Amino acid sequence: MTAHHPRRRPKVRFAAVFLVALSVVATASLTPHPARAQQAGDVSGGMVMRIAAVVNDEVISVYDIEARTRILIASSGIPDTPEVKAQIRDQVLRSLIDETLKIQAAERLGQEVTEDDMRTAIGQVEAQNGIPPGGFEDFIQVTGLDRESALRQIEAEVAWIKAVRARFRNQVDISDDQVDIVLGQLEAAQGKPEHLAREIFLPVDNPADEARVRANAEQLLAELRRGASFAAVARQFSRSPTAANGGSLGWVRAGELDPALEQALLGMQPKTLSDPVRTVSGYHILYLAERRRTAQPQPDKARLTISQIVMPSGGPNAMSASDQAAIAAEVAAGVDSCEAFNAIATSRDLPNSGPVGTLAVASVDQPVRGVLMGMEVGEVSDPVDVRGGKLILMLCDRSVPGGMPSREAIRDRLYQQRLELVSNRYLRTLRQQAVIDLRI
Give, for all 440 residues of the chain, the pLDDT tens digit.
444 444 444 443 333 333 343 433 333 333 333 334 444 444 444 555 799 999 999 999 998 888 778 767 766 678 888 888 888 888 889 988 988 999 899 999 999 888 999 999 898 878 766 788 899 898 878 776 667 767 777 888 888 889 998 899 888 889 999 999 988 888 787 778 899 999 999 999 889 999 999 999 999 999 999 999 999 899 888 988 888 788 999 988 887 889 999 999 999 999 999 999 999 999 999 999 999 987 666 777 788 999 999 999 888 889 999 999 999 999 988 788 899 999 998 988 888 899 999 998 888 888 999 999 889 888 999 999 988 899 999 999 888 776 677 788 888 888 888 888 888 889 989 999 999 999 98
Q: What pLDDT is recorded for position 104?
A: 93
Q: Where are the domains of the chain?
A: 14-171, 191-295, 299-399
Please name the amino acid found at residue 254. Answer: A
Instruction: List the Cα angle 69/75/78 in 5-degree steps.
Output: 70
Helical packing angle, 147-168 and 407-433, nearest 10°: 110
Q: Check if 191-295 and 299-399 are the same fold.
A: yes
Q: What pLDDT is recorded for position 145?
A: 64
**Residues 6 or more apart in contact with residue 1 via CB below 8 angstroms:** 371, 374, 375, 381, 382
Kindly provide the b/e burial profile for residues 34-73, where b requires at least 16 CB atoms within 10 angstroms of the residue's own CB: eebeebbeeeeeeebbeebbbbeeebbbbbbbbbbbbbbb
Burial of 311 (0-12, 13-18, 19+ CB in 10 A): buried
CATH for the stretch 191-295: 3.10.50.40
Helical packing angle, 34-44 and 62-76, nearest 10°: 70
Q: What pLDDT is recorded for position 144?
A: 67
Q: Name the CATH superfamily, with its identifier, for domain 14-171.
A: Porin chaperone SurA, peptide-binding domain (1.10.4030.10)
Q: What is the pTM of this model?
A: 0.63
Distance separating alpha carbons of residues 231 and 224, to the nearest angstrom: 10
Domain range 299-399, CATH class: alpha beta
Task: Identify whether the C-beta of residue 72 lies closer than 8 Å to the C-beta of residue 22.
Answer: no
Report CA-CA distances (Å) from 331 to 6, 17, 151, 393, 396: 11, 36, 48, 10, 15
Distance separating alpha carbons of residues 136 and 121, to the nearest angstrom: 11
Distance separating alpha carbons of residues 237 and 221, to the nearest angstrom: 12
Q: Are strands 303-312 and 272-273 parallel, antiparallel or unpaired?
A: unpaired
